[in-house]
Structure 1
Amino acid sequence: MRLAKERAEVVRFAQRLRPEGLVVGTSGNLSVRVGDLVVATPSGLDYDALTPELVCVIDLDGELVEGQLDPTSETPLHLSVYRTTEHTAVVHTHATSAAAVSTLVDELPTIHYLVGLFNGAIRVAPYATYGTPELAASVTDALKGRNGCLMANHGTVTVGSSLAQAFQLNQYLEWLCELWLRASTGGAALGLRPRELPVEEIERVIAKFGNYGQVPPPESGR
């Protein structure tokens, strides 16, 4: 089986989407690029039934190279990211708070420094019908210089150098959206608006995040 490791990884992360509240039903999709090939979730399949053999392998033109099912309906979006950026993983979800925020604003207010993980203010891509080239173009435009965006009246897209990174960013994005919704609701009762961090502070945080994170030390061999 071609790209067996990557297909197993797609299954592992896809099966976390629903338990972690990032999707409902069979919505959402994810993929990882390996050279000139893309490993992607199939369209409309229950994640509990997903196996590595059922994960699709497509080329950068969207043609099925290996797999038994059609690839995700958002294939144009995934391929557009890979054609226009250096990112090698895409996670698209319909997380509830993020989808709600996408109906309210054109940009997620910067009320927490974790916005810095996305390299700046998180934009909302204008609405277009799902699975279309128009939506793909809207999303990739909103992603310029960013690691994630909201999709108006739809959901989220996060990108990275690995599925683990893109998935974690999706979790952070949902948390940021829930934070803003709670702060806005609570503030409205008091006649207050959530405080936003200035651009200068977000830039400082982005610089600090450049040196953030650790990996376990190698095993001693004992």
Structure 2
Amino acid sequence: MTASSSALSQERTAVADVCRRLGAEGLLIGTAGNVSVRVEDRVAITATGAVLADLTPEQVTVVDLEGKIVAGAFEPTSELDLHLGVYRRHGTGAVVHTHAPNATAVSCVLDELPCIHYQLLALGGTIRVAPYATFGTPELAESVLTALDGRSAALMANHGAVTHATTLDKAVEHALLLEWACGVYQRAASMGRPRALDEQQQLAVIEAAIARNYGTTRPVPPAQEENR
């Protein structure tokens, strides 16, 4: 089934809304960064040169999975190949790339962000740093795709961060979580060498999260409600 360009009007609006939110959160500055969402065989993606914190739906371009423009008045971001590569390799639904300050700072120093807090397990654990390559190049796209194997996030050396998820809202949550974790790492590193969770500790967290259905709201059981 093919998604028509008109069917992506809602997604173009959603991408613009997300960019303005990320700008307000301080994860985007000026024209640096890009966001996309996939609907079947179409991708709504930010236009190159657009000021993302003020993005409008008209500044979101629609392309097919080969990168051909099917709707929109502006050329898509220079990182189009990266976004399309994530969709092809990881079968995801949305991609967020930022130059968020904490994530970018960490990407200038570390080869990987260790799992210093159990919430990083939501992104897959330790976050790899893709080797530096010039923006918009196939070399950069390939290195980031490799860094994303088994992960929902990656850092890009001396560049920024990328996250992906099944939905646009989830990809944004991942971007915010990664930025928070990078900030925690920096604060911890200023006091000493940060401790990382080992494999056994990480496994225990996963088991506890599954057993407790962690991260979801649950009503009070009837028996406990009666005893209140």
* Corresponding residue of 1:142: 147
Structure 1 ranges of 4+ moved more than 4 A: 207-210
Match of 2:100 among 87, 95, 99: 95
**What is the CA-CA distance between 1:2 and the residue it aligns to?**
4.0
| Number of equivalenced pairs | 212
Distance 2:152 2:204 in 1: 17
Unpaired stretches in structure 1, ≥5 consecutive residues: 188-192, 218-222
Task: Among all aligned residue pairs of Structure 1 and Structure 2, give the percentage whose two residues are the same amino acid.
Answer: 51
More displaced 10-residue stretch of structure 1: 41-50 or 208-217 = 208-217
**Residues 16-68 of structure 1: CA deviation (Å, up to 9, x unaligned):** 12210102111111001111110101111113543223310001111100000
Query: Superposition pairs for residues 149-160 of structure 1, below 5 Å?
Result: 149-160=154-165
* Corresponding residue of 1:212: 214
Counterparts in 2 of 1:208 and 1:30: CA distance versus 1, 3 Å: farther
**What is the CA-CA distance between 1:203 and the residue it aligns to?**
2.7
**Residues 114-149 of structure 1: CA deviation (Å, up to 9, x unaligned):** 111112211111111101111110001000010101
Q: TM-score, normalised by structure 1?
A: 0.90
Distance 2:208 2:10 in 1: 33
* 3-state SS of paired residue (2:194): coil
**Residues 135-193 of structure 1: CA deviation (Å, up to 9, x unaligned):** 11000100001010100100000000111000011001011111111111122xxxxx1
Please tell me whether residue 9 in structure 1 is matched to residue 14 in structure 2: yes
Unpaired stretches in structure 2, ≥5 consecutive residues: 1-5, 220-228
* Corresponding residue of 2:187: 182
* 3-state SS of paired residue (1:157): strand
Counterparts in 2 of 1:46 and 1:216: CA distance versus 1, 3 Å: farther
Q: TM-score, normalised by structure 2?
A: 0.88
Letter in 2 for 1:212: Y
Distance 2:73 2:100 in 1: 28
Counterparts in 2 of 1:206 and 1:138: CA distance versus 1, 3 Å: farther
Say whether the 8 Å CA contact 1:117–1:206 is kept in structure 2. Answer: no
Distance 1:196 1:54 in 2: 42
Distance 2:135 2:206 in 1: 32
Counterparts in 2 of 1:43 and 1:208: CA distance versus 1, 3 Å: farther
Q: CA RMSD in A?
A: 1.7
Say whether the 8 Å CA contact 1:115–1:202 is kept in structure 2. Answer: no
* 3-state SS of paired residue (1:200): helix
Letter in 2 for 1:214: T
* Corresponding residue of 2:174: 169
Letter in 1 for 2:44: V
